[in-house]
Structure formats: C-alpha cells, structure tokens
Amino acid sequence: MLKDKKEKGHKTNDYIEHNENVTFSKKLLTADWLKSQQNIPNNTLYLSKGVIISPLAKDMIKEKRLTVRYVKDDAS
C-alpha cells in the first residue's frame, strides 16, 4: 500500500508525514481509510484545511477516541 512510499517530509497520495505526525491530505476522510491505518501516532489525526469527514469516519474517530487537528496546507 502507500505506507512503503512514506519518506519524511514527502507527500504521498493520502498523507504527508512530518516528525512522526501523519497529515491526511485528500478531500474526503473515510472510515475505510481509518480502518487501513495500523497506527495513528499519539491518537491524533492531522487534517488539511477543507477535508470533509464522512459520518461513519466521525463515528470511528469518536469510538477510537482520536483527536482531530487541522493544519494549513503547505502546498498552497
């Protein structure tokens, strides 16, 4: 999957990794994407501004007790 393409500070199709934090960079966060993540560092999801969270993904975030933080998209 995409995890083998991760390099610090380099953008992949789904997320950007900086200093152990994973920033989701697509437009729609789905429950399927959350299920595919083996480990979310510090139980914190970093989302680019403007990301839409699906209702089922919101439920999973609450269930897993994840914190959601929004960050500016550096690519703009």
Confidence of residue 34 (pLDDT cuts 50, 70, 90): very high
27 SS3 class = coil
In whole angstroms, give the CA distance from residue 13 to residue 60: 22
Q: What is the pTM of this model?
A: 0.68
Where does the chain show beta strands of DSSP type E?
15-18, 21-24, 28-29, 44-48, 52-53, 67-71
Does position 8 have pLDDT exceeding 50, yes or no?
no
Lowest-pLDDT range, 3-7, 27-31, 35-39, 67-71?
3-7
How much of the chain, in percent, has pLDDT values that exceed 90?
A: 41
Q: Given a cut of 90, is residue 57 above it in pLDDT? A: yes
